[in-house]
Amino acid sequence: MNLEQLRGFVEVARLGHFTRASEHLHLAQPSLSRQISTLERELGAELFHRARGHIALTAAGETLLPRAQRMLAEADAIRDEMGELAGLRRGRVRLGAPPTLCISLVAEALSSFHDSYPEVDLHLIEGGSRLLVEQLAVGAVDMALITQSDGPPPAGVSLTRTPLLAEELVVVSSAARPPVARTPAIPLSHLATLPLIAFDESYELRATTDAAFRAADLTPNLVLEGGEMDSVLRFVERGLGVAVVPAMVLFDRPTLRSVRLAHPAMTRTVSLAHRSDVSPAVAVAAMRQVILTTASDVARRDPAITSLLDTD
List, as one string, the DSSP characters of 10-52.
HHHHHHS-HHHHHHHHT--HHHHHHHHHHHHHHHTS--EEEET
Residue range 97-135, pLDDT digits in tens: 988 888 889 999 999 998 888 888 899 998 878 888 888
Q: Report the alpha-carbon distance of residue 275 to residue 159 in Å, rounded.
A: 4
For 49, how many CA atoms within 13 A lie in the half-sphere containing its CB?
7
Lowest mean pLDDT among 29-33, 124-128, 181-185, 201-205: 201-205
* Range from 109-123, 150-164, 211-225 carrying the lowest mean pLDDT: 150-164
Q: Are 260 and 170 in contact (CB under 8 A)?
A: yes
Domain ranges of the chain: 3-69, 76-164+269-301, 166-268
Q: How many CA atoms lie within 13 A of 123 on its CB side?
A: 11
Which tops the pLDDT comparison, 154 or 207? 207
In this prediction, residue 263 carries a pLDDT of: 74
Return the half-sphere exposure (C-beta side, CA atoms, 13 A cut-off) of residue 90: 10
Residue 303: pLDDT over 90: no
Higher pLDDT, 197 or 150: 197
Q: Which fold has domain 76-164+269-301?
A: D-Maltodextrin-Binding Protein; domain 2 (3.40.190)
Which of 3.40.190.290, 1.10.10.10, 3.40.50.2000, 3.30.460.10 is the CATH number of 166-268? Answer: 3.40.190.290
State the Cα–Cα distance between residues 300 and 303, nearest whole angstrom: 7
Rounded distance between C-alpha atoms, residue 190 and residue 216, angstroms: 12
Distance, in Å, from the CA atom of 153 to the CA atom of 283, rounded to the nearest integer, reads 25
CA distance linking residue 270 with residue 308, whole number of Å: 9
CATH topology classification for 3-69: Arc Repressor Mutant, subunit A (1.10.10)
